[in-house]
Amino acid sequence: MAARALRISSRNTDALITSLALPIMMMLIFVYFFGGAIDTGTDSDSYVMYVVPGVLLLSAGFGAATTATAVSEDMKGGIIDRFRSLDVGATPVLAGHVAASTVRNLCSTALVFGVALLIGFRPAASWSGWLVVGAVLVAYIVALSWISAAIGLLARTPEAASGFTFFMSFLPYPSSAFVPTENMPDWLHGFADHQPITPAIESLRGLLLGQEMGDTPWIALAWAAGMLAVAVAASGTLFRIRTR
């Protein structure tokens, strides 16, 4: 199922190129267009050091959104009836899409890292820090991919699925991804500090820059585990409802 989902992705070149290139374009826009005007409490020339962790989570959201469309197309196209006649249930079908999404997102993450190094990003993470960075990234990629799978089951058309995932892709913006949350209005500050993307970004930023993080990585992983549990349960329920 994972190989099938990857083959489908490779044939949909427009969506594949967009999911790989869009995070890089966003990073370059923020670094070179807005970086000098955004106050992060550091030198403006080091804005790339601030913004890269947020772009990594933004990349995960963009990449996972493709999963919703792919699942919705499966539900609309009739292939699920064929799978069910072969006694293939929800778990392998959806897990295949999630596995393919994880592979796509890891490729996108590698590209973002590569371009970030070219434009001046210089991580100072220890070996253990890199391991935790990988764990946080993979945990959020998998969680967001399962949420997208649930959205694909909930939406009645691929177009609707693509529209619903906008809200998930939007979450990095009201967070500490691009500006410190204390610079936001009071009504937004509270939400930005307590939504699931902020602890992940703060963990990645602190780990990559070699800073002391305290319990933040554990909070980020707890958020990811909670989102994953809810998304997997919701996906199973929605699959049974849609295939009655």
- DSSP of 196-239, one letter per residue? THHHHHHHHHHHHTT---TTHHHHHHHHHHHHHHHHHHHHHHHH
Per the model's pLDDT, the better-predicted residue between 80 and 208 turns out to be 208
Question: Could you tell me if 59 and 145 are in contact, meaning their C-beta atoms sit under 8 angstroms apart?
Answer: no
Using the predicted structure, report yes or no on whether residue 43 has a pLDDT greater than 60: no
For residue 44, what pLDDT is reported? Answer: 45
Using the predicted structure, report yes or no on whether residue 45 has a pLDDT greater than 70: no
Q: How far apart are CA 5 and CA 193, in angstroms?
A: 35
Region 136-165: mean pLDDT is 88
For residue 120, what pLDDT is reported? Answer: 87
Using the predicted structure, report yes or no on whether residue 217 has a pLDDT greater than 60: yes
Q: How far apart are CA 210 and CA 203, in angstroms?
A: 10
Question: Could you tell me if 40 and 179 are in contact, meaning their C-beta atoms sit under 8 angstroms apart?
Answer: yes
Cα-based torsion angle of the residue sequence 13, 16, 22, 25 in order, rounded to the nearest 10 degrees: -60
Using the predicted structure, report yes or no on whether residue 195 has a pLDDT greater than 60: yes
The lowest-confidence range among 32-36, 174-178, 203-207 is 32-36
**pTM: predicted TM-score of the whole model, two decimal places:** 0.88
Q: What are phi and psi of 145, to 5 degrees?
A: -65, -40
Question: Could you tell me if 53 and 177 are in contact, meaning their C-beta atoms sit under 8 angstroms apart?
Answer: yes
Q: How far apart are CA 75 and CA 242, in angstroms?
A: 8
Sign of the dihedral through C-alpha 127, 143, 105, 54: negative
Q: How far apart are CA 19 and CA 58, in angstroms?
A: 10
- Residue 157: band (very low, low, confident or very high) from pLDDT cuts 50, 70, 90: confident
- Residue 220: band (very low, low, confident or very high) from pLDDT cuts 50, 70, 90: very high
Using the predicted structure, report yes or no on whether residue 42 has a pLDDT greater than 80: no
Region 53-73: mean pLDDT is 85
Residue 129's H or E segment, with its range, is: helix 127-154
Residues of the chain with pLDDT > 70: what percent? 96
3-class secondary-structure state, position 77: helix
